Amino acid sequence: MAKNIVKISFQTNNSNQNNEVAEAISNLAGNEIGKKMNVHWKISHVTLGEHVFYRTEYTVEGTRKISRETEKEIRSVFDSYAKINLDNLSMKYNAAMESAGFKVVKVEEVKEEYNLWQDKLFSLMGRQGNN
């Protein structure tokens, strides 16, 4: 199956501004990546059982599969913004939002469930060994 999505899961350190930090990092990275390739992204605040985290998915349009180099570049750009301290990140984000053409994607709430799928064939094979 071709993979044209890069998924980055992360947590933030500032409980008062989690959504804002997630939006800033994801949108700054998305807009920078968008200068080189046609990319769309979504930002999710995910609840999975007792675990809560953020996930940004960058989809590169016009390609059936993202090369390792492109995936590495997307992750590198994202990481560069994730390493900026909160004050500098806020200043950079606020300035970027005022520039023409800057795309802003909002965080959406997502509740996921664990997928405890089990292969029926594997289960049958296990039973055969017990007979």
Query: What span, in angstroms and rounded, lies between the C-alpha atoms of 104 and 25?
Result: 11
More confident residue, 113 or 46: 46
Question: Smallest Cα–Cα separation from 82: which of 11, 19, 7, 6?
Answer: 11
Domains annotated for the chain, with CATH where assigned, are 5-129 (3.30.70.1980)
Q: What single-letter amino acid sits at 80?
A: S
Q: Give residue 89's pLDDT.
A: 96
Q: What is the pTM of this model?
A: 0.82
Q: Give residue 119's pLDDT.
A: 59
- Within the chain, how many helices (H) and strands (E) appear? 4, 4
Q: What single-letter amino acid sits at 5?
A: I
Q: Taking the CB of residue 118, how many other CB atoms lie within 10 A of it?
A: 7
Query: What span, in angstroms and rounded, lies between the C-alpha atoms of 13 and 61?
Result: 32
Q: Give residue 16's pLDDT.
A: 74
Q: Give residue 64's pLDDT.
A: 75
Residue 120 reports pLDDT greater than 50: yes
Q: Give residue 123's pLDDT.
A: 57
23 Cβ contact list (under 8 Å, min separation 6):
43, 93, 104, 105, 106, 107
Q: Give residue 108's pLDDT.
A: 96
pLDDT in tens, 17-53: 899 999 999 999 999 999 999 999 999 999 988 889 9
Work out the mean pLDDT of the chain and round it to a whole number. 87
Q: Taking the CB of residue 49, how many other CB atoms lie within 10 A of it?
A: 9
